[in-house]
Structure 1
């Protein structure tokens, strides 16, 4: 008698089926990664816009407020804040500096470190974690530059001393040119509208 054929004939996956599953998984993973990285890019752009708005408020408050204003970096909250100094006798008393309640702080997203933020005052890197950059109303304001880094991007927000809004510089290109002060009397255009 002949032995019976094995009934345990198993069918395995073919190479084509395995390749198709791998291709489908790769496409799904790439779609998820693209979506996550584009979300981080949008969040980074939002932080840059918020930091620009904060610099604009700093410029406006330094020109028109009654109290000294300052920029402060809070490492524990990974944020930049606009501060104002309450009136007091001792100008060196740090407890007199309070967050401006009308201006929201700029918090860095979870995927960014506080070390991906740099602040320059008149071209020199500044540490604003211990003491705010303070400006007295009506006095000359220093040039302020905030630099934000994320992956391969670098965005600079440059606030010249005479400007009320920062200039965004990305990839070495200005989004808007800086307007220089011009004395209309000396240029002979004193009757022109400005």
Structure 2
């Protein structure tokens, strides 16, 4: 008597299929392209966050200059206990008993420094003097001579540094960046150095 044949023994033997060399190469190339896109984005976050904070400080100083040139109320730069840098105005209203308080300018958002910025490195100077503006603003009344304002900041890893300068009569600040290890740029008067006719 014959035993019934199983279905597995009747089917022809199939060779086991693996990945071809071409398929492995295509996947490898795709992974390399994705890595080339992702790695710079992950490593550049510190620089981007620092640049964004520096741009926000420059915008704040721009508005400080604009309020000074075209406003009527006394203005100031102030830091709060969290380290935020903000533009404040002196609230002068005879009908309000709370008049005379410094209030945040509602049209200028405060600068909230990201974790990449070392808060202890954010230094505000006026005419070269370092100021503590926590709770007490660097104030100025429009129409009077404005001091030269400078804000210095650096990243936590001390790799990136920037200085934002607002000259006394300027309407916009000037930002100068510096990386650790690069020499600081110094202005040179070519006439005084006897190099006025030299090509540069």
Which of the five TM-score ranges fits, normalised by the shorter chain? 0.5 to 0.7
Correspondence for 2:169 among 153, 159, 162: 162
For 1:140 and 1:51, locate their aligned partners in 2 and report how far apart those are by CA, in whole Å. Answer: 22
Correspondence for 2:101 among 96, 101, 110: 96
For 1:154 and 1:94, locate their aligned partners in 2 and report how far apart those are by CA, in whole Å. Answer: 39
What is the TM-score with the length of structure 2 in the denominator?
Answer: 0.64
In structure 2, the partner of 1:40 is 46
What is the TM-score with the length of structure 1 in the denominator?
Answer: 0.66
For 1:117 and 1:33, locate their aligned partners in 2 and report how far apart those are by CA, in whole Å. Answer: 30
Contact 2:92 2:100 in 1 (8 A): no
Correspondence for 2:159 among 140, 148, 152: 152
In structure 2, the partner of 1:53 is 59
> For 2:107, what is the secondary structure of its paired residue?
coil
Kindly tell me the number of residue pairs found equivalent between the two proteins: 143
Q: Does 1:106 align with 2:111?
A: yes
For 2:120 and 2:40, locate their aligned partners in 1 and report how far apart those are by CA, in whole Å. Answer: 25
For 1:44 and 1:56, locate their aligned partners in 2 and report how far apart those are by CA, in whole Å. Answer: 18
For 2:125 and 2:176, locate their aligned partners in 1 and report how far apart those are by CA, in whole Å. Answer: 14
Structure with greater Cα Rg: 2
For 1:112 and 1:51, locate their aligned partners in 2 and report how far apart those are by CA, in whole Å. Answer: 12
Contact 2:124 2:131 in 1 (8 A): yes
Contact 1:88 1:96 in 2 (8 A): no
In structure 1, the partner of 2:92 is 87
1:32 is displaced (CA, Å) by 7.7
1:116 is displaced (CA, Å) by 2.2
Contact 1:75 1:114 in 2 (8 A): no
In structure 2, the partner of 1:25 is none
Deviation per CA, 1:23-81: give whole Å up to 9, x if none. xxxxxxxx9875444111101101111100100100110121111000001132x3100
In structure 2, the partner of 1:119 is 124
For 2:130 and 2:39, locate their aligned partners in 1 and report how far apart those are by CA, in whole Å. Answer: 35
RMSD: 2.7
Q: Does 1:142 align with 2:147?
A: yes
